[in-house]
Chains A and B, each alone.
Chain A
């Protein structure tokens, strides 16, 4: 297929996100693309990373060492342009070149994003731990990297190359946690949070997360190894209007009725998406989340007049 590259570095066949998808990402911090990666790519990936039948694996440590040493996953220096990170013809290049995935990447971190790091997470069945008198446990809640108060954001692609059943302990994550500023594993004290989700998905699925999403690996209670490959990408341009903005409402923005709504609060407007609560939101900080989402949307759109349900207008109103 012949593909052209425009002046911004974007390829013509990228399927950019819609405004509604961007608003959902701004509010909840993730997008889920189930079963979008073809099976030949999934199979090639599993073969190249060195997947072996479970009964041929001695231990967690030896298998990880073997995979680290022999797999075809390249060692890519941090800061490498994504376009140069994976060689042509490899499953990972095929993955990031899929028009739907490339469109999502370009919509979120721009057409010339750079590679931060990648890692193959392997979660082993209980018997691998029990034979060494260890208790298999889920990974604690954490936020990746370190305290990160930026408004700019990185994304993390979580690639599930095979079907993940509920027993396999797919990645646990907390929708709407991405704007909370915490310090990595400092949140490990929490075990369960209302609204937490556990990834169960068909082969070839991708979870795209804002870098701030709270998450952790689940305990694999199946008999099969679980693989998840994570790629972190960073922007090189201001993340403003990078998606398909043809349906983006322009100012002046009208405000809808608030609190006394006549029972009509189920519309699909940007304001409605940005003020939809998560089950774990506290009564008062829920309002701070709405404020932070509205500020995030202003950043994404470059539109300082935007507001959702008057949360910003009210606290910015200081007549001279």
Chain B
């Protein structure tokens, strides 16, 4: 039986080796709790460092054309990279 751990890294530009500017982590095994504001330093320096530590990259935010008249509007963090690890869980223990 496996459970998923999910790591969200927000990078400084669209390359995987860009520096991490924001991050989130959710643990499907239940072993760790996480919440907003709980750490001041990112778990990895870049997205590349995360995959070198065994995280599987499964989604990258697309690069969208800028709508005419709306080119300078900023909103959500732009470079979102989603990673996972599948953790073996036996007899309810991970």
Interface residues of A (CB under 8 A from B): 135, 137-141, 149, 172, 179-182, 186-194, 196, 198, 216, 218-219, 279-285, 288-289, 291-292
Contact = CB atoms under 8 A, between A and B. Distances in A.
B35 A191 contact: yes
Interface string B1-37: 0000000101111000010111111000000011111
A140 B36 contact: yes
A198 B37 CA distance: 8
Interface stretch (B47-55, B74-82, B85-93): B74-82
Given A282-B12, A282-B13, A283-B12, A191 B34 contact: yes
Contact of A138 (B20, B37, B76): B37
Contact of B21 (A137, A172, A280): A280
B39 interface: yes
Contact of B36 (A180, A182, A191): A191
Given A181-B74, A282-B77, A282-B78, A138 B36 contact: yes
B75 A181 contact: yes
Contacts of B25: 191
Interface of B: 8, 10-13, 18, 20-25, 33-40, 42, 72-79
B7 to A, nearest CB: 11
Q: Which of B23, B75, B79 has the most CB of A within 10 A?
A: B75
A48 to B, nearest CB: 30
A216 B11 CA distance: 22
Given A192-B38, A282-B79, A180 B23 contact: no
Given A216-B36, A283-B13, A191 B74 contact: no
Given A137-B35, A283-B12, A193 B21 contact: yes
Contacts of B72: 288, 291-292
B21 A194 contact: yes
A171 B92 CA distance: 37
Contacts of B24: 189-192
B29 to A, nearest CB: 16
B65 to A, nearest CB: 14
A169 to B, nearest CB: 8
18 contacts: A138-B38, A140-B36, A179-B74, A189-B8, A190-B8, A190-B10, A191-B24, A191-B25, A192-B37, A192-B42, A193-B10, A194-B42, A280-B77, A281-B12, A283-B13, A283-B18, A284-B13, A292-B74
Given A194-B22, A280-B21, A285 B74 contact: yes
Contacts of A172: 36-37
Q: Which of A140, A190, A198, A280 has the most CB of B within 10 A?
A: A190
Given A190-B22, A192-B22, A192-B42, A139 B74 contact: no
Nearest to A191: B24
A131 B27 CA distance: 24
A288 B73 CA distance: 7
A188 B21 CA distance: 16
A218 B37 CA distance: 7
A286 to B, nearest CB: 9
Given A192-B22, A216-B37, A284-B13, A187 B76 contact: yes
Contacts of A218: 37
Given A191-B24, A194-B21, A141 B74 contact: no
Nearest to B71: A288
A182 B74 CA distance: 9
B33 A180 contact: no
Contacts of A187: 76
A314 to B, nearest CB: 13
Contacts of A190: 8, 10, 22, 24, 36, 77
Contacts of A149: 73
